[in-house]
Structure 1
Amino acid sequence: MKRFVLLDTAPIPDNGGALCLFEYGEDFVIKIQGGDGGQLMNTRMHGSEDALAEIPCRKIGQRPQARALIGGLGMGFTLASALKHLGPTAQVVVAELVPGVIEWNRGPLGAKAGMPIDDPRAQVRCVDVAHVLQAEPAGFDAIMLDVDNGPEGLTQKGNSWLYSAGGLHSCHSALRAGGILAVWSASADRKFSERVAKAGFKVEEVQVYAHGNKGTRHTIWIAQKR
């Protein structure tokens, strides 16, 4: 019988608790320490994480030296998908706040996504994605955000700025002309769609399966800079 085996615990900076990495049979699972037992992510169900990168990167893939930003490394599947759909001269910057998550992606966990962290086009920074957004105006062709469960499903209050009007305006400023913002969420949120539009985007709310072509669906906002 499969059981959860705790492999490591990684503190979240600024007293944000900790993330726990578990082995579950042939899969890996990340949970929040002391939470309700629910999974933040696992290596078996990553269809929506793949789509978070595939949709915008297909749109910018033909741009010369395309540059993309991913907020949240997670289990590496979004990074792997971005690299798959971008050309050899592209660069993908990943901002990951938790050092332990980066280390997990250098080990057996990373192998599940094909070790995208080792791709020379990938640049992983241990930093809050908010700092990257504010430091690099017009620096990216695409921005993909998966830093929490969505605008109304936050597990870390410090992430709320990203989904606010100020955070969305920073995303708008960090994008080049016609750039794409993609935001992952565990659930739909009409008010967030309206907020994105007010920040200067043409926005579409897309429903994608978490795994395969049935069962749980997640939401991805695809927003093009106007």
Structure 2
Amino acid sequence: MAWVHMDSAALGDSVLDLYERDGVYMIRVDGWELMNGEYHESEDRLGELAAQLARRPDPDILVGGLGLGFTLASLHRHLGAAGRVTVAELSEAVIRWFDRHTKPRTLGDHPFRIRQGDVLAVAAEGSAEGPAFDVILLDVDNGPEPLSAAGNAALYGADGLGTLRQALKADGILMVWSAFEDPEFVGRARSAGFSPASLPVFRPGRAEPFHLVYVLSASPFRPGELDRFGLQPL
């Protein structure tokens, strides 16, 4: 069965397109696949790991990028009733599509707040009175370079990483979903004061990693933490 085009929306100089096939959704940006509901192992693992890595039992978590909602659903599934989750989504259309079409059934009735806007601005606003978040997840592009919007480049530069670190509590975690390795990004993260590690994500039946998650700790990792979560120090 072919994908059926559902809607289009502008995002800066880019165009987002929503497709549906047999109840599964996909979003493309300028013709490039950005996210596909048929494959969400990385998003599932991202939400699970964020809930596990939060170093407080009732964490404040900021998610950059709503997408199809799989990261959010996984996060709530593993948090249970704990914590407070804010999602920053740049595109009004993606929020509208989520409300009308793409919201995963597994999300249930868990409470969360969606803010339309730049996650960097939301992070800076949240830290105006001091570090605000235990975990910040960036799931807005295919890795630490802009794809969905040109302005996202600021997220992965030295200034953006500095802003995100200031928004984190002293032992907070920044997580970045990526389809590729980026040693230069790791170097910038280290210069911003993060302790960097990565988690390879595997698709069932495949020997090679499908994607990876950069895990950047605002403080040194605790003894045994890397091994417990399968993280690879960088």
- Measured on the aligned residues, the alpha-carbon RMSD in Å equals 1.8
Return the TM-score normalized by structure 1.
Answer: 0.88
Give me the whole-angstrom Cα distance separating, in 2, the residues matched to 1:115 and 1:207.
Answer: 25
Q: Distance in 2 between matches of 1:119 and 1:206?
A: 27
| CA-to-aligned-CA distance 1:173-216 (integer Å, 9 cap, x gap) | 0011211110011101111111111111111022113x435266
Give structure 2 stretches of 5+ with no counterpart. Answer: 220-234
Distance, in Å, in 1 between the alignment partners of 2:60 and 2:205 is 30
Q: Report the counterpart of residue 121 of structure 2 in structure 1.
A: 131
Match of 1:31 in 2: 28
* Identical amino acids, percent of aligned pairs: 39
Task: Kindly indicate whether residue 48 of structure 2 is the aligned counterpart of residue 54 of structure 1.
Answer: yes
Which residue does 1:119 correspond to in 2? 110
Instruction: State the SS of the aligned residue for 1:93.
Output: strand
Closer, same or farther in 2 for the Cα pair 1:133/1:156, shift >3 Å? same
Aligned match of 1:5: 4
The answer to whether residue 106 in structure 2 is matched with residue 107 in structure 1 is no
Residues of 2 paired with 1:225 and 1:87: CA distance? 25
Structure 1 position 201 matched with structure 2 position 218: no
Q: Deviations for 1:72-100, whole angstroms, at most 9, x for unmatched residues?
A: 00000111111122242411000001111
TM-score, normalised relative to structure 2 = 0.85
In structure 1, list runs of 5 or more residues that go unmatched: none
**Given the alignment of the two structures, is residue 75 of structure 1 paired with residue 68 of structure 2, yes or no?**
yes
| Deviation per residue, 1:91-143 (Å, 9 max, x gap) | 100000111111111123113x5246x522x1111111111111122110000
- After superposition, give the CA deviation of every residue in 1:6-28 in whole Å (9 maximum; x if it has no partner): 1111221xx33221111123321
Deviation readout 1:140-196 (Å, 9 max, x if unpaired): 000000111222463532110000011111111001121111001110111111111
Give the secondary structure class of the aligned counterpart of 1:107: helix
Matched, 1:158 2:157: no
Which amino acid is the alignment partner of residue 169 of structure 1?
G
CA contact (8 A) 2:200 2:209 kept: no
CA distance in 2, matches of 1:216, 1:100: 32
Q: Which amino acid aligns with 1:90?
A: G
What's the offset of the Cα at 1:65?
A: 2.8
Letter in 2 for 1:119: H
How many residues end up aligned between the 2 structures?
A: 215
